[in-house]
Amino acid sequence: MKVMCQKSTLLSAINNVSRAVASNSTMDLLECILIESIDDDRIRLTANDTELGIETKIESQVLIPGKIALKARLFSDMIKKLPDSEVIIESDDFGKTFINCEHVHFTLMGLAGDDFTRLPEISRDRLVKISQFDLKEVIRQTIFSASVNANNKVMTGELFHIEDNVLTVTALDGHRIAVRKLLLSASYEPVEVIVPGKTLSEIMKILPGEADRMVNIFITDRHILFEMDETIVVSRLLQGKFYDLGKMISADFETRVTVNKIAFLQCLDRATLFTTDSEKRPIILQIEDDVMNMRINSPIGQMNDKLDIGREGKEIRIGFDPKFLVDVLRVVDEEDISLYMMNPIAPCIIKNDEESYFYLILPINVNN
């Protein structure tokens, strides 16, 4: 194989596909990026850790067609340190690979590309279109609620539910739920799949997030494929049953509090000084008249603060892990947010009137 391309183009493709490179694998090939010629003026870079696969096509002059798998880390570091100029990658029949750029000549050993695990073939029957910006936003606004390590594997993923022209994305971890609804520009047959959280985190990082450019999503029983510009991401789906939220969520409330988001976020952020993963402490919200008093107590110290609020319904005293509230407030775009509460032991809900977003947080019982 002998191909020639621009350093900057190559580097950005490497950065994209590197997100699907396995780290510390026992199989050398899983730590590689496959480079292969497609036709006279394009090459494809692929990485695949068998859960998640990413490929990107870039412009390149193909002098001798072929393919080679190169250790991702070293290859990436080499390209990064090259002058910003044309790069020639050439490999011989034994895998010996030469990377030349101006006066710089790197040599490294590659692996035969034939054994590389290709991305699975995905049927392109069921297509859903969504803007890059919207996809990036719905992931950002929900992903923090997915479990990182859960006994129940489905909780590490997000439910993508499509029906008519609405995409609903749901993440939950046993203490909280995040739901984002998005209007699509077309109507679709109902479909519901669980996408691994890691896949979505990586997609969020790869997506340029432009509002006027689209992502094509193809769904099969076992896989989901995201196609954006010249990059394809294929991920296995998580198999299992997601929680039925219908039963958990009630529209009733006894207290509604409206508060300035930034001011509330700053108070909560200060409160996180007093709670750690090993020693959790609740922030207690005391809602009286048009004021929310906040208090958090811990062995190292305490904080008192208060904010003016809008209140509808009963006064209430209720406690939360401040980090759960911080996570929600950081991703909500509105200037003011509304909290809906029933009683000190029932879930608190943060949502807007259209319910395009909906967050549920379990309180910590502070009244006994």
Told to check if 109 binds a second copy by CB under 8 A, we report yes
Residues in the chain: 368
Distance set, CA 249 to CA 70, 154, 243, 338 (Å): 51, 20, 12, 16
CB-nearer residue toward a second copy: 90 or 230: 90
Told to check if 278 binds a second copy by CB under 8 A, we report no
Distance set, CA 20 to CA 17, 49, 80 (Å): 6, 6, 18
Name the minimum Å distance from CB 104 to a second copy: 5
Name the minimum Å distance from CB 259 to a second copy: 13
CB-nearer residue toward a second copy: 245 or 263: 263
The count of C-alpha atoms lying within 13 angstroms of the C-alpha of 108, restricted to the half-sphere facing its C-beta, is 19
CB-nearer residue toward a second copy: 325 or 360: 325
User: Quick one: tokens of 110?
Assistant: 């590659």
Is 317 within 8 Å of 366 (Cβ atoms)? yes
Name the minimum Å distance from CB 79 to a second copy: 11
Is 222 within 8 Å of 121 (Cβ atoms)? no
Name the minimum Å distance from CB 338 to a second copy: 21
Told to check if 273 binds a second copy by CB under 8 A, we report yes
Among 38, 59, 84, 105, binds a second copy (CB under 8 A): 105
Name the minimum Å distance from CB 105 to a second copy: 4
Told to check if 77 binds a second copy by CB under 8 A, we report yes
Distance set, CA 99 to CA 42, 67, 273 (Å): 18, 14, 50
**Residue 305's closest CA among 336, 329, 274?**
274
Distance of alpha carbon 27 from alpha carbon 25, whole angstroms? 5
Told to check if 108 binds a second copy by CB under 8 A, we report yes
Told to check if 107 binds a second copy by CB under 8 A, we report yes
Told to check if 306 binds a second copy by CB under 8 A, we report yes
* Residue range at the interface with a second copy (CB under 8 A); choices 120-128, 190-198, 264-272, 360-368: 264-272
Name the minimum Å distance from CB 123 to a second copy: 40
* Residue range at the interface with a second copy (CB under 8 A); choices 75-83, 165-173, 180-188, 220-228: 75-83
Distance of alpha carbon 22 from alpha carbon 293, whole angstroms? 48
Name the minimum Å distance from CB 103 to a second copy: 6
Among 106, 144, 226, 359, binds a second copy (CB under 8 A): 106
Among 5, 21, 232, 267, binds a second copy (CB under 8 A): 267
271 SS3 class: helix
Using CB under 8 A, which residues numbered 25 to 54 contact a second copy?
Answer: none
Using CB under 8 A, which residues numbered 285 to 304 contact a second copy?
Answer: 300-304
Is 327 within 8 Å of 345 (Cβ atoms)? no
Distance set, CA 93 to CA 31, 66, 101, 255 (Å): 21, 10, 21, 73
* Residue range at the interface with a second copy (CB under 8 A); choices 33-41, 105-113, 217-225, 332-340: 105-113
- Maximum separation of any 2 CA atoms in the chain, in Å: 79
Which residues fall within 8 angstroms of residue 93, CB to CB, at 6 or more apart? none
Told to check if 307 binds a second copy by CB under 8 A, we report yes
Name the minimum Å distance from CB 304 to a second copy: 4
Name the minimum Å distance from CB 30 to a second copy: 17
Among 86, 229, 305, 336, binds a second copy (CB under 8 A): 305
Q: Packing angle between helix 7-17 and helix 72-80, nearest 10 degrees?
A: 150
Distance of alpha carbon 311 from alpha carbon 297, whole angstroms? 25
Pairing of strands 157-172, 176-196: antiparallel
For binding to a second copy (CB under 8 A), which residues are involved?
Answer: 71, 74, 77-78, 81-83, 103-109, 266-267, 269-270, 273, 300-307
